[in-house]
Amino acid sequence: MQGKLIRDLSATSAQVLLNHALNLAIFYLTSRYLSKEIFGELSWSLATSTIIIALLSFGLDLVVVKKIAAGNDKRETAGLHLLHVLITAAITGLLLLLLHLFFPLKRPFFVFLPGILISQLISSLASPFKQIANGTRSFAALALISVTSNIVKVVLLIVLLAFDILSIQYLIGLFIIASVIELLVAIVITVSTQRKILLPVYFNWSRYRSLIREALPQYGVTIFNIVLARFDWIILGLLTSAVVTAEYSFAYRVFELCRLPLLILSPLLIPIFSRLFVHPGALTIKKQVQLGLLFRTEMVLSLILPVILVSCWTPLMDFITDNKYGAGNEIIFILLAVCIPIQFATDFYWNICFAKGQLQVTFRIAVISGLINIVLNLLLIPFSGAMGAAIAYLSCFIIQFILFWNHNRQNNVRSHVLHFMKAVFSAFTALVIAKLLTNNPWITVLLSISLYFLLSIFSKLILFHKIKPALILLLKQKRHYA
């Protein structure tokens, strides 16, 4: 069992780490070698097409994973999801073709969006195969499918740059080719390993409608979470300059890197929470203790990367980007970095609601925070630019956390806010002391991260005798699904 856990964690970690590295490479290459105008249009098209794909998904992805992990019929669930993405992709593709025939717009802005959207529609067809791998705990297969598209993009980008032929048309072709290869890899892996699950494709109209109804609350959550993540990019592109948008998007990309521990843990936590809440009713003391162990672990992990990057942001970014980014967006990054522990805590409470089937709650909270995000961005960006976008983003996560915490507190789930406060206090104190003691950025990094762990131990956030029970909890949950 321990070997299986290590293999699962290794595959999941490798996938997340590699995808983040590849995404950063794509971002760096396109931002460096495309003009600001074209890069801005590319970023806007990616953000817009992401929202469109989320609209088409109907929130099925996580519901499908949950049902497969909980032991529902895999062939039925995967088949319904597959037919859904096929139908929605075909309809959207047909609408794009009709728009192109009757309203042929030639500006790069209008060329980019259809091309990027087509590539993402093709990628969406691979989603059911990813959910099969995730729900059946085939994490090595999931990792291989997930990294394929980004590997192809990076390789083709390097080839285009080497031959000095990077253009709008080639860039669109690059995205489409990468999505097609990703889909083919997903099909080959799934058919070869899960043939009985996928073939023949299952469909039942009444069961499909039931699946859609079950996913509708999660659909709203998905939409508003996407709005929360990308609406600021769109508004910045519309209301400010390309330089402001570039500085914010660069800081945001590095902020996304800080979420690595959460992205590594998420595929493993959904089955664990589903198992903990498989039976309705009040939580036992044992389950409360188990939840506390998971929350404590997330809090400790959440602040490691933010502490490191805040310690050396300006010199590190100046070095990496040849003084293009650094001091100009340091405050923006710090504001975004504050969101990291809040996101971890919010994700913890969201998982509880999701596992208990309280999707109406997650939907309401997503709607509230999404609407507040839209209003704050519209109010703050015209006056404060990227700083306003960062403040709006942080404000929405604070609101989300308070709402989720309050709901779970009312439902007799023990509050772990004290652990959250200890983690934030330890990180903040470590950074302040380290920066006061030395001006050398690299010594500041070592000092701040060392102080963070020492303060976490001193405040009893890290308890060595709790590490083994946490590992046992993970092993027991893995044994259940083995």
Residue 410: how many CB atoms within 10 A of its CB? 8
How is residue 133 written in tokens?
Answer: 């791998």
- What is the per-residue pLDDT across 422-478, written as a single tens digit (0 to 9) for each? 889 999 999 999 989 888 888 999 999 999 999 988 887 776 555 556 555 555 544
Residue 373: the pLDDT is 85
Q: What average pLDDT does the chain have?
A: 77
Residue 394: the pLDDT is 92
- What is the per-residue pLDDT across 56-73, written as a single tens digit (0 to 9) for each? 877 777 677 666 666 565
What span, in angstroms and rounded, lies between the C-alpha atoms of 245 and 477? 44
Residue 319: the pLDDT is 81
pLDDT at 155 over 90: yes
Does the bond joining 382 to the residue before it have cis omega, within 30 degrees of 0? no
How is residue 201 written in tokens?
Answer: 């494709």
- How confident is residue 25, by pLDDT bands cut at 50, 70 and 90? confident
Which segments of 303-440 does DSSP mark as H helices, in order?
Answer: 304-321, 330-355, 359-384, 386-410, 417-437
- How confident is residue 290, by pLDDT bands cut at 50, 70 and 90? low
pLDDT at 283 over 70: no
pLDDT at 205 over 60: yes
How is residue 408 written in tokens?
Answer: 């779970």
Residue 430: the pLDDT is 93
Residue 168: the pLDDT is 82
Q: Which residue has the higher pLDDT, 75 or 85?
A: 85
Residue 413: the pLDDT is 55
The structure's pTM equals: 0.71
Residue 267: the pLDDT is 60
What distance separates the 2 farthest-apart alpha carbons in the chain? 68
Most confident residue range from 38-47, 95-104, 353-362, 380-389 = 380-389
What span, in angstroms and rounded, lies between the C-alpha atoms of 16 and 413? 30
- How confident is residue 287, by pLDDT bands cut at 50, 70 and 90? low
Please report, rounded to a whole number, the percentage of residues in the chain having pLDDT higher than 70: 73
- How confident is residue 481, by pLDDT bands cut at 50, 70 and 90? very low
Residue 1: the pLDDT is 43
Please report, rounded to a whole number, the percentage of residues in the chain having pLDDT higher than 90: 15
- What single DSSP character describes residue 202? P
- What is the per-residue pLDDT across 85-140, written as a single tens digit (0 to 9) for each? 888 888 888 887 777 777 665 544 456 778 888 898 898 888 878 777 666 666 67
